[in-house]
């Protein structure tokens, strides 16, 4: 794991093309104790070891389906859709083992991030590994890699020096082809040694979602009815024309029992 030194940092953003309704701002000073965090997302190979040793069954496996980017689906497409996002399809048989549905596999993707894992699944893995999910503040401090008030983990330019720095959508969304996930260490790490901290897959955090930011993981009042967990970092499906949430300050959410083909996680731990 990577050691993040802790201390005070400026969290959040006020980007002109940001999403104020997501509670990205205001920019505020947050102080954290030093902590450890995985340099990369948990891979298919790592999750397979967990399942082999524990017999764990993910929520997608238990209910029999999960959400897949429609053009990727190999079969089993259901009527289940996401309002306002017709490119998502509920697919019977879509699980972490079969990310696109029946007949697909992770055979050649052992070092890709595991997907189709819910927040509950990620928490179970973290507990087994003697770790935990990072808080939202820990995730952002680690993602910034020691830089202050920058849009991305490497600076303010998306393609710094003309080099691709993350796995996001290329071309018109959603009509252009997509690569899907890439290996967890596909690009240069940030200043703290974290790989693919934006793009590739969304990452679960410990915190409950709120429309204005608060440290919800420590809120003794607990979550509101229908509450969701914060996810950070964006994914291979993010594009400037639709969802530019691959900025470090960006945030969104999903319910703890939800799973999709573009959400994974990395773990943290106390020093």
Q: Is 200 in a helix, a strand, or coil? A: coil
Instruction: Tell whether 211 is covered by a domain.
Output: yes
Instruction: Tell whether 68 is covered by a domain.
Output: no
pLDDT at 216: 43
Instruction: Tell whether 95 is covered by a domain.
Output: no
Q: Are strands 202-208 and 229-232 parallel, antiparallel or unpaired?
A: antiparallel
The domain tally of the chain equals 1
- Which residue shows structure tokens 């990205």? 24
What sign does the CA torsion over 222, 227, 230, 231 have?
positive
CA distances from 220 to 44, 137, 140, 217, 229 (A): 35, 17, 22, 8, 16
Q: Are strands 263-264 and 202-208 parallel, antiparallel or unpaired?
A: parallel
pLDDT at 21: 86
Instruction: Tell whether 99 is covered by a domain.
Output: no
Q: Is 114 in a helix, a strand, or coil? A: coil
- As given in the structure block, the two tokens for residue 213 are 């930011």
DSSP state letter for 193: S
pLDDT at 221: 44
Instruction: Tell whether 263 is covered by a domain.
Output: yes
- As given in the structure block, the two tokens for residue 271 are 């020093």
Average pLDDT, the chain: 91
Instruction: Tell whether 73 is covered by a domain.
Output: no
31-62 pLDDT, tens digit per residue, is: 999 999 999 999 999 999 999 999 999 999 99
Instruction: Tell whether 154 is covered by a domain.
Output: yes
Do residues 156 and 150 lie in contact, with contact meaning Cβ atoms separated by under 8 Å?
Answer: yes
Instruction: Tell whether 75 is covered by a domain.
Output: no
- 44: enclosing H helix or E strand: helix 44-54
Burial state string for 206-237 with b = 16 or more CB within 10 A and e = fewer than 16: bbbbbeebeebbeeeeeeeeeebbbbbbbbbb
pLDDT at 160: 73
Please tell me the number of Cα atoms within 13 Å of 66 on its side-chain side: 28
Give the CATH number for residue 129: 3.90.1580.10
| Residues 114, 107: Cα–Cα separation, whole Å | 12
The segments of the chain whose pLDDT lies below 50 read 215-222, 225
Q: How far does the chain reach from its first CA to its final CA, in angstroms? A: 10
List the domain range (segments joined by +) for residue 152. 1-56+111-271
**What pTM does this model have?**
0.93
Burial state string for 129-152 with b = 16 or more CB within 10 A and e = fewer than 16: eebbbbbbbbbbbbbbbebeebbb
């Amino acid at each position: 794991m990577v050691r993040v030194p802790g201390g005070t940092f400026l969290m959040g953003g006020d980007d002109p093309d940001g999403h104020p309704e997501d509670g990205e701002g205001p920019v505020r000073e947050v102080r954290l104790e030093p902590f450890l965090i995985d340099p990369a997302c948990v891979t298919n190979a790592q999750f397979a070891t967990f399942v082999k040793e524990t017999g764990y069954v993910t929520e997608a496996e238990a209910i029999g389906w999960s959400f897949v980017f429609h053009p990727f689906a190999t079969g089993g497409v259901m009527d289940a859709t996401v309002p306002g996002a017709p490119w998502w399809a509920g697919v019977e048989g879509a699980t972490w083992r079969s990310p696109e549905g029946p007949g697909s596999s992770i055979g050649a993707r052992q070092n890709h991030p595991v997907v189709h894992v819910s927040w509950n699944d990620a928490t179970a893995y973290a507990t087994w590994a003697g770790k935990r999910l990072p808080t939202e503040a820990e995730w952002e401090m680690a993602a910034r890699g020691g830089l202050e008030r920058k849009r991305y983990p490497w600076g303010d330019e998306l393609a710094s020096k003309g080099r691709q720095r993350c796995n996001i959508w290329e071309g018109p969304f959603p009509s252009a082809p997509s690569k899907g996930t890439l290996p967890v260490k596909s690009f240069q790490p940030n200043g703290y040694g974290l790989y693919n901290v934006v793009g590739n897959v969304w990452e679960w955090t410990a915190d409950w979602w709120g429309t204005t930011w608060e440290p919800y993981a420590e809120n003794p009042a607990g979550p509101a009815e229908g509450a969701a967990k914060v996810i950070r970092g964006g994914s291979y499906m993010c594009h400037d024309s639709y969802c530019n949430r691959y900025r470090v300050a960006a945030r969104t959410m999903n319910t703890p029992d939800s799973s999709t083909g573009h959400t994974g996680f990395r773990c943290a731990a106390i020093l």
